């Protein structure tokens, strides 16, 4: 009964490492095997929970904490999980363009359609009023993607990678087809900076990114539980380890993919990591709700 509840003091440990660009932030260099990581600054923090969760004895917790501090480095002891893919988008129809322009660009439907029709009339994109989410078999994707190879910057770089090493994939087919107009695609390749109207420029960039993403491989990852051991203690974080970004590369900064603690670093079992921080915290139990 809550009336007779007596709170208890407890103590716990929490480890933090930092993550950036697919790996643990490394500020002190790697050893000759390339598997020692130091985490002092920069990147995004990842908090690992203590496997014991908590102890109700302060001296015991303090002794464990001191042994962890003395050890200094943690070792990756386990990486468990299951494969997970993030599917590339289906070809772009009007309603989806309106949703994405509102979400990513903060452009309302009326302004979007006005500017999209201007882009269509100027020859930059296909007709922007369509329900179709699938391409006809005869659509020549390679020719269109090749035209972007001549564009400086991310579009040209990505188009070149897309046409190399079997990275190109025929776009998925969506459910809808109005049998009148194809999905919304770029009609010609150009540097977005050459488009003087800033709203048109943003819309064109979104349409190009979406189209190139449609022609890419699905992103591949693993929902992962990462276990680090320092001294005799284990700490755990759950999140997503992205193995191949694929279409997510071109859809930056709008499309992201994460679960749990977010994206986890790509490390191997046996790798050693110096934590950013290792702290001892106290708390008090609460009555049941």
The catalytic site residues sit at 127
Q: Give the CA-trace dihedral at 54, 76, 257, 146, to 10 degrees.
A: 170
DSSP labels for 166-234?
A: T---PPPP-S---SSSPPB-BSS---GGG--SHHHHHHHHHHHHHHHHHTSPPEEEEEEEEEEEETTEE
Q: Using CA atoms, how far apart are residues 265 and 260, in angstroms rounded to an integer?
A: 13
Measured CA to CA, the distance from residue 129 to residue 113 in angstroms comes to: 8
CA distance 98 to 7: 54
**Nearest-angstrom CA–CA distance, 24 and 39:** 7
* Closest C-alpha to 186, from 162, 198, 204, 202: 204
Place of tokens 């400086």: 152
The structure tokens listed for 199 are: 């709203």
How much of the chain is helix, strand and coil, in % rounded to 5?
A: 30, 25, 45
Q: Which two tokens stand for residue 264?
A: 């986890």
Gyration radius of the chain's alpha carbons: 25
Residue 235: name the closest of 196, 203, 279, 204 by CA.
Answer: 279
Pairing of strands 277-284, 44-50: unpaired
């Amino acid at each position: 009964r809550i009336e007779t509840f007596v709170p208890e003091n407890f103590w716990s440990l929490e480890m933090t490492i930092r993550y950036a660009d697919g790996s643990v932030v490394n500020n002190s260099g790697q050893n000759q095997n390339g598997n020692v990581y130091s985490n002092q600054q920069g990147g995004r923090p990842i908090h690992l929970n203590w496997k014991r969760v908590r102890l109700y004895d302060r001296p015991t917790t303090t002794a464990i904490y001191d042994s962890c501090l003395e050890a200094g480095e943690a070792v990756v002891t386990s990486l468990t999980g299951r494969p997970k893919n993030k599917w590339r988008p289906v070809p772009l129809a009007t309603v989806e363009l309106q949703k994405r322009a509102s979400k990513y660009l903060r452009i309302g439907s009326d302004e979007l359609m006005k500017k999209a029709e201007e882009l269509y009339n100027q020859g930059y994109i296909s007709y922007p009023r369509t329900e179709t989410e699938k391409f006809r078999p005869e659509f020549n994707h390679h020719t269109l993607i090749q035209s972007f190879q001549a564009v400086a910057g991310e579009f040209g770089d990505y188009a070149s990678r897309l046409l190399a090493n079997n990275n190109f994939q025929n776009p998925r087919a969506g459910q809808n087809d109005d049998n009148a107009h194809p999905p919304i695609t770029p009609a010609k390749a150009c540097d977005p900076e050459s488009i003087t109207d800033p709203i048109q420029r943003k819309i064109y960039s979104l349409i190009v990114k979406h189209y190139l993403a449609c022609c890419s491989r699905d992103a591949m990852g693993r929902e992962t539980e990462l276990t680090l051991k320092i001294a005799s203690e284990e700490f755990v974080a759950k999140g997503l380890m992205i193995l191949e970004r694929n279409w997510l590369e071109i859809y930056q900064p709008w499309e992201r993919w994460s679960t749990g603690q977010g994206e986890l670093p790509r490390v191997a079992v046996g790798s050693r990591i110096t934590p950013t921080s290792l702290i001892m915290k106290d708390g008090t139990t609460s009555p049941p709700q």
